[in-house]
Amino acid sequence: MLKILYSRHNGVFLAMLRGLRLERGLRQADLAVRLGRGQGLVSKVERGERRLDVIELRDWLDALDADFIGFVSGLDAELRQHPTTDTRLIRRRASSRAQA
């Protein structure tokens, strides 16, 4: 399996996070203050060196005044436009569609 950290899908996710921050007119340091964390963390997340779990993502989006469900729905729509290259995922999806 491909490392998710370096996948095309993760790149889309990170671009959306960074884009949202920029849309809000915030610097990394501004977001860090809102999160109560250091600017280095924001940088590492945006560069893909550090992952966010779902709880951290919710806090991150809250700090950006963004709707969690709306963001995840938008992410899902974006990811559907960028098919995965992991053949195990492709086979699993095809198998589950055939069973439905």
State yes or no: pLDDT of 15 exceeds 90.
yes
Amino acid 1: pLDDT: 40
Q: What is the percentage of the chain residues whose pLDDT exceeds 70?
A: 77
Task: Write the CATH number of the domain with boundaries 4-99.
Answer: 1.10.260.40
| pLDDT tens digit sequence for 35-53 | 999 999 999 999 999 999 9
Domain boundaries, the chain: 4-99
Q: What's the pTM?
A: 0.77
Task: Collect contacts of 57-65 with beta carbons under 8 A, ≥24 apart.
Answer: 59/35, 60/17, 60/31, 60/35, 61/20, 63/31, 63/34, 63/35, 64/20, 64/21, 64/24, 64/26, 64/31, 64/34, 65/24
| pLDDT tens digit sequence for 54-68 | 999 999 999 999 999
